[in-house]
Structure 1
Amino acid sequence: MKEDYISIAETPKPLWQTIIAALAFTAALGIIIASFLYNILNLSNFKTIATMTESVIYLTAIGIGFSRQKRIYVDIKASKFKTATEIGPFKIGKWTTINNYEYVSIFLQLLADGTYIFEVNLWYNNNKHFKLYEKDNFEDALNIAYNLSEELNIDLLDATIANDYKWIDKEALKQKVI
């Protein structure tokens, strides 16, 4: 059965980041349990309790930083999209209605450090756009843009060269990929 929405995710986190996140969350939980047991036995040492609380906050922030992932959901039937931040099974995001899908574009964005990144945008409502994806690899960005444009049955624009925008022939691209 085909899903009613398209999900576009960042590249999965490397294993080492997942391990660090798991260790940070485990250590934070251990400190919470130790703090609870310590408080039952001795309520008089406020400095120790404050240090434990501070450690839990830092470890939780590290765990979130290493496990957080951005995912975009596009609900085709309901004409909505949602940017969600996911930390394990928890998802934070809000659905927004899109009217009149127009096209998907790929363009080259200069970053502050002088490097470039490819951005994939969904254009709608005459001049509004939603940034779906960014990656330093053109092939990955093109794959995401192509798949989305095929699902939504809209055009695909290559805007990677300034002032030289070109509509991509999706049929020719499909033949090249297959």
Structure 2
Amino acid sequence: RPLSKAERRAEHNAIERARRENLNTKFQSLAQALPNLINYRRPSKSQIVEKALDWVKQSISREERYRYQVLQLQRENKRLLAQLQSTMQMPSVPMMNASSSSNTNIPHMYTDLSSNNGWSINNTTQYMVPTPQMTPYSSTEELTKQDFHSKSDDEDNVSSANEDDIEYQSSPGHPSYLDQGS
């Protein structure tokens, strides 16, 4: 039996109501997921879309900034590794004899091992030998192979709607010095 006009209208209205409720639920889920809408009691759909777009733009900008910082840090690491390797391959530099009368011009930092910024003096041969700083890596190859991973926005603990007030937790994958420019 064909549906009457009133029954078709009621069925259409029920389908449309379910669609609207589903859409509204999705909007509310989106609003709850956006840190920049935390202070809004019940944001409008327009506000939700606007803040979602703002958040996406901020996230893209933040990701680009982090990618640039990671590239800069990788370049700096390569430069420092090359410098370390060349320093480790350098022959020892002879110092003046300790009994020389001209040693009064030598700074006192070479006689105190605790204040010499990584340099030590071997008193038996009178050579100044660089003392390499210890790293948590067993070799320079291991250091060059390390990966840099930015935290995703899903992992961030967000305390405010303002991008400048967003605080990130420090972790091995997200060093705290990356946050200085935020």
Higher helix share: 2
* TM-score tier (shorter): under 0.3
Considering only CA atoms, is the larger Rg found in Structure 1 or Structure 2? 2
TM-score, normalised relative to structure 2: 0.22
TM-score, normalised relative to structure 1: 0.22
Higher strand share: 1
